[in-house]
A = this chain, B = another copy of it.
Amino acid sequence: MKIVFINPVGTGEADKHMYRVINAVKRPDVEAKVIHMSQGPVHLEYHYYAHLIMDEMLRAIRKAEKDGYDAAIIGCFNDPGLREARELVTMPVLGPGETCMHVAATLGHKFSIIIGRRKDLPIMEDNLHSYGLGEKLASFRTVNFTVPQMTTEQERLHEAIEKEARKALEEDGAEVIILGCTMESGFSKELMQKLKAPVLDAVVITWKYAEMLADLYRGIGLSHSKTFDYESPPKEEGWLKE
């Protein structure tokens, strides 16, 4: 089986990092591929930026399906293009936001999400409600890092995340911590040992969930519903050519 993880940004700088995080947890029988966009912004902190990479990303997901991939992951916690992608292909397409929030809900009473900037909160909160999980949120907590800062100041980032995660557990009633940005990945095991509470790494969790769905897709044909919301555009209308 093979799964593609898409860094939906116009830079390959984080690809190696993602390979490292995925390889540390992936099943030996699953092949990992990490890709990025050929152009576009290096982060998706603005809704408009998500639009700018959308075309190439959707094309990449359709190509992955044709190339025999078993599942695709949109590597941004805001889950941009999730609906569009699921409309276009049959295989499972996952977003870290949706996946992590649901997995967190099965591990404890309430979760907190540690995000980069306050700017991201409204779209995430709307997603949280669309996913039906408003009642499970303890809090959003912000570390005030832009995505570029996250890359260059990893140590300071980890300290800031640990600090906010502790507050979430002690003041907000969280029982589970979600690291709400794929750039906050690669250190959840250590953090978990420090905090003595579950910490969900968006890359790790989404990858493992993708493995599970890929199994179910190939094994019994289970994938996203094509009834209503993700119904594919009819070929004869001509917009699916390539």
Q: Which residues from chain A sit less than 8 Å from chain B, CB to CB?
A: 24-25, 27, 41, 46-52, 54-55, 58, 81, 83-84, 87-88, 94, 98-99, 102-103, 105-110, 118-119, 121-123, 125-126, 129-136, 169, 173-176, 188-189, 192-193, 196-200, 204-205, 208-209, 211-212, 215-216, 219-233, 237, 239
A99 vs B215: C-alpha distance in the bound complex, in angstroms?
16
Structural contact, B87 and A27, CB atoms closer than 8 A? no
Given contacts A134-B132, A224-B107, contact A231 B119 (CB under 8 A): yes
A121 vs B109: C-alpha distance in the bound complex, in angstroms?
10
Closest Cβ of chain B to A99, distance in Å, is 7
Q: Which of A50, A118, A122 has the most CB of B within 10 A?
A: A122
Query: Residue A132 contacts which of B52, B105, B107 (CB distance < 8 angstroms)?
Result: B105
Q: Which of A98, A119, A132 has the most CB of B within 10 A?
A: A132
- Chain B residues with Cβ under 8 A from A222's Cβ? 107, 192, 198-200
Structural contact, A175 and B215, CB atoms closer than 8 A? no
Structural contact, B230 and A108, CB atoms closer than 8 A? yes
Query: Residue A54 contacts which of B51, B169, B174, B198 (CB distance < 8 angstroms)?
Result: B51
Structural contact, A176 and B225, CB atoms closer than 8 A? yes
Structural contact, B221 and A193, CB atoms closer than 8 A? yes
Structural contact, A220 and B188, CB atoms closer than 8 A? yes
Structural contact, B105 and A125, CB atoms closer than 8 A? no
Query: Residue A229 contacts which of B122, B132, B135 (CB distance < 8 angstroms)?
Result: B122
Structural contact, B48 and A88, CB atoms closer than 8 A? yes
A109 vs B154: C-alpha distance in the bound complex, in angstroms?
31
Closest Cβ of chain B to A202, distance in Å, is 13
Given contacts A25-B219, A192-B220, contact A229 B109 (CB under 8 A): yes
- Chain B residues with Cβ under 8 A from A102's Cβ? 102-103, 105-106
Besides A118-B173, A126-B130, 12 other A-B contacts (C-beta < 8 A): A48-B233, A52-B239, A83-B123, A107-B225, A109-B121, A119-B228, A132-B132, A133-B133, A134-B135, A192-B220, A196-B227, A204-B216
Closest B-chain residue to A211, C-beta based?
B212
